[in-house]
Structure 1
Amino acid sequence: MIRSWLALTLFAFSLPLFAQLDSGDDAVTADHYIRDDLFVFMHTGPSREYRILGSINAGTAIEVLERDGEFTQITDEDERTGWVESRYVSDTLPVAKQLPRLSQQLADSQSALAEAESESARLRQQLNDSRQQIAELSTAVEEKDRKVSKLTTQVERADQDELVTWFTRGGMVAGAGILLGIIIAYLPKKRKRDNQWM
C-alpha cells in the first residue's frame, strides 16, 4: 500500500519536471512539440488554404521559427519547414516521450524503496539483537552483583568468626593464667630450717 502510494506521488511530481525537459536525441533544437493528437498537416503558408506539404506525427520535436495568428512556422526532425496550426504546438514534452522516462524513474524509485525497506528491516533486526544482548548483559551483571554480595557477606562472617575465635582463645589463656596463679598461691611452701647453734 505504501509503495503504491509513494510510486503514485513520485509519478505526479515528476510530470511537471519532465514536461520541461528537452529531448537530446532529436535532430533539431526541440523546444516545442506537436501535441498528442494523431497527426497534423503541415502547410506551405500560414493558412489552411496553402498547399499541404505533408503530415507530422504527434509527439514530434519541432523548432518554432515564427508565429502568424492561428499558424506557426516550424522546422521538423526531417528539416522540413512549413506551417501548422498553433493549437497543435506545445512546449510540453509529449506523453509518449514522458512515459519511458517516468517508467524508468518509477522503477528506480521502487528499487530505492525496496533497498530502504531492506535496510530498515536489517536495522530493526540489529536493534532487536542489541536489545537482546543488553538484556543478557544486564542479567549477567545482576548475577555477578549477587555473587559479589554473597562473597562480601561470607568475608564479613569469616572476619566475625575469626574475631570471636581470638577473643575465645584470649579468654581461655587469661583464665588459665588466673587459675595457675591461684593454684600456685595455695601450694604449700617449704619451711625454712632454723639454723640454731647448740
Structure 2
Amino acid sequence: MASVVLFTCVFIVTAAMDNADMIHFLEGFNLRSRRWAQGLALCGFLGASATPALADQTRWVSDHLATYVRSGPTDNHRIVGTVRSGQALQVLTTQGDYVQVRSEKGDAVWIRATDLQPQPGPAEYVPQLQKQVADLKGRIDNADRDFQQRTTGMRELLDARKTQIDELETTRQKLNQQLTQAQADLRATQSQLGSERQQVLMRYFAYGGAVAGSGVLFGLIMPHLFSRSRKRSRQLI
C-alpha cells in the first residue's frame, strides 16, 4: 500500500510539471533524492495510516469535476488549464478529436470533443429545480397556513355553536321544569276548585232545601191560620 501511495505522489508531482520542469526535476533528483525520499516516505506513511480510517466510509463522485484543456488539438500538446463540469464554452473551430473553445477567461484552448455535449448537464438545472421546489414549498406552506386558519375559524365557530346549543338545552330543561311545576299547580288548583265547588253546591242545596221546607211549612200553616180567623169573625157577628 505504501508503494502505491509513493507512486501516486510521484505521478501527481510530475503531472503538474511541463516538459522543461520535468527535465529539471529529473536532473536534480539525484541531488535531492534523500530529501524527496523522506518527503515521499512521509506521504506514504500518512496515506497508509489514513487508508484504514476511510475504508469503512462511503463517498460519492463529485458533480464538480474538472476537464483538462490543452494548447493544441492533440494529446501531445501541453495542458494549460481546466474547465469545470457543466461550464458553457463558445466553440471556435474543430480539428480531429478536439474542439477549440473560448474559456471564461477569454483564452482559446482545445478540449476533446467527447467531453462536450450540446445541451446543459443535469447539474445546470439544479438551481432552477431548487427554485421551483422553494416556490412549491412556499405555496404549500401558504395553503397549509390558510387551511389551519380556516380550520381554526371553523373550530371556533363550532365551539360557539356548541355553547349556544348547551345554553338552549339548559333553558329548555328549566322551561320543562317550570312547565311540570305549573301543570302540578294547575292540577292542585283544579282539585281545590272542585272541592270548593262541591261545597258551594252543597250549600246551595242546603239553602234551597231550607227555603223549600220553609215554604212548605208556611203553606201548611197559613191555611190553618186563615180558617181560625174566619171562625172567630163569624162568632163575633
The TM-score by the shorter chain falls in which range? 0.5 to 0.7
The answer for unaligned runs of 5 or more in structure 2 is 1-59, 99-111, 232-237
Match of 2:149 in 1: 125
Match of 1:190 in 2: 218
* Contact persistence 2:97–2:113 (CA under 8 A): no
Does 2:93 match 1:82?
no
SS of residue matched to 2:73: strand
Match of 2:204 in 1: 180
The answer for unaligned runs of 5 or more in structure 1 is 1-11, 16-34, 62-75
Distance 1:60 1:174 in 2: 118
Residues 46-85 of structure 1 deviation map (CA, whole Å, 9 limit, x = unaligned) = xx47xx7xx9974588xxxxxxxxxxxxxx944524125x
Cα 1:125–1:82 shift into 2, 3 Å: same
Return the TM-score normalized by structure 2. Answer: 0.47
More strand by share: 1
Larger RCO, structures 1/2 (Cα 8 Å, 6+ apart): 1
* Contact persistence 1:60–1:77 (CA under 8 A): no
Alignment: residue pair count = 143
Match of 2:73 in 1: 42
Structure of larger gyration radius: 2
* Contact persistence 1:39–1:56 (CA under 8 A): yes
Residue 96 of structure 2 aligns to which amino acid in structure 1? Answer: G
Distance 1:146 1:134 in 2: 18
Distance 2:127 2:87 in 1: 20
SS of residue matched to 1:80: strand
RMSD, aligned α-carbons: 4.0
Cα 1:166–1:129 shift into 2, 3 Å: same
Identity value in percent: 11
SS of residue matched to 1:147: helix
Return the TM-score normalized by structure 1. Answer: 0.54
Distance 1:102 1:57 in 2: 22
Shift in Å at residue 169 of structure 1? Answer: 1.6
Q: Which moved more, 1:156-165 or 1:142-151?
A: 156-165
